[in-house]
Amino acid sequence: MNRQSIFFTIVVSFIISILLVVISFIVLLTNNYQEHEKQIFDKYFSVSRMINRAEFNFNDKFVKNLEEMNYKVYTKRDDIKIFENNIKAIVFYERIHPKHGDIFRILKEDETFYIYSKVKDSEVLIKDENSPNNNAQIYIILVFSILLITIVLLYLMTLKKLIPLKILQDKVKNLGDENFDFEFNQTSSKDEVSQLSMEFKKSALKLKNLKEARNVFIRNIMHELKTPITKGKFLTQLEQNEQNNEKLKSVFDRLESLINEFATIEELISSTNNIEKKNYFLDDIIDNAKDILMLEDDSVVCEYDNRKLNVNFKLFSIALKNLIDNGIKYSNDRKVIVKNEDENIIVENYGEELKEPFSQYLEPFYANQGRKDSFGLGLYIVNNILKANGYILKYEYKNGLNKFICAKG
């Protein structure tokens, strides 16, 4: 693992934190055990001194005093022997006089403590009915467990939060290869890493749109410039007179208009800014679309009510221009019909039905089978322009009639 990595730093920090917690736990537990042991010694040594002062003369008064202190006295050998044979009893502390052989023991059975004392031939076993419990040890273990679980959970949560950062790192490496298709799970998280990932995804999408806009611009300009260039070539071969010069001038005006149109299309596809919309008469928009195409009036049959539409005049004209151009190109009679139903605009032509699902024709550069210069770019541009103007492009086919509907969204 890279030592400069954030993940490496987090892992090292986690390990250090666990070690510190474990060391603290051991120190606290050791100190608690020693303190508990000291309390037991102090308590039972005082009882031992009482026994020694009484010189093992356990009269009723002495026994009663011990019972009041919650001690039970065993002086009979049989009772003491039964306890000595108890395998559960462990020696908590033991002291044997090196010369006289006197014995003092603190014994423990489960959670109960006993005092065994033997001096010469006298012996006694005292049971503590109120044996001290080490509750502090339980609390220390409980706190340690909670702290350890909390650290582990925080570690896992931190790693989970940083996973998008690792994915982002891998995706950035592919950015130079123009691979803009990034998949990030949509999240409502507001942390900086998740927000950075989502912003990067948006930036990648913008770059993808810019790339598509560039490709659309190049391919579309090659296609659209053919008509005025062909007409211009034809006019240069004719006799130079005022009428032909005017026609040649109109060709150059058309070329200039096309260049401006392509720049507008590229800006539309590559930008997320809202376009400016105003109210325009449908008749003016259709006339502008026909002027761009340099069409004769009889190519477009107008059956619409001249009502106002709230749209961007230049862009909406380009959209209808593309629909009219495609309609004429693929119609049986080289004509299109333009209608309207309220704010919905319909461009119709008599011709063959589209062979593929309509959604495929809305993809950039989709080529209609068996046809050159198909709907691919045209409908892709139309669809984007209509979306920006609050419209939806739909398609219907009935009784030999293709209907391209610009439906108000």
Q: Which residues are CB-neighbours of 298 under 8 A, at least 6 positions away?
A: 335
pLDDT in the model for residue 2:
64
Query: What is the CA angle 110-111-113, rounded to 5?
Result: 100
Task: At 6, list the tokens.
Answer: 């954030």
pLDDT in the model for residue 373:
43
Task: At 187, list the tokens.
Answer: 């999240």
Q: Are strands 401-408 and 308-311 parallel, antiparallel or unpaired?
A: unpaired
Q: Kindly list the averaged pLDDT for each block of 10 residues, start to end, along the chain of length 409.
A: 74 89 90 83 81 74 82 81 74 81 83 84 84 79 90 86 73 65 60 71 74 68 71 76 79 74 65 76 93 82 93 91 90 92 93 89 62 56 88 94 93
Task: At 262, list the tokens.
Answer: 């392509």
Contact 375, 361 (CB under 8 A): yes
Task: At 112, list the tokens.
Answer: 């109960």
Alpha carbons within 13 A on the beta-carbon side of 55: 0
Can you tell me the distance from the alpha carbon of 228 to that of 247, in angstroms, rounded to the nearest whole number? 11
Contact 107, 113 (CB under 8 A): yes
pLDDT in the model for residue 220:
64
pTM for the model:
0.45
pLDDT in the model for residue 375:
39
pLDDT in the model for residue 353:
92
pLDDT in the model for residue 388:
87
Four-point Cα dihedral 261, 403, 376, 259, nearest 10: -10
Can you tell me the distance from the alpha carbon of 93 to that of 111, in angstroms, rounded to the nearest whole number? 15
Can you tell me the distance from the alpha carbon of 62 to that of 342, in angstroms, rounded to the nearest whole number? 113
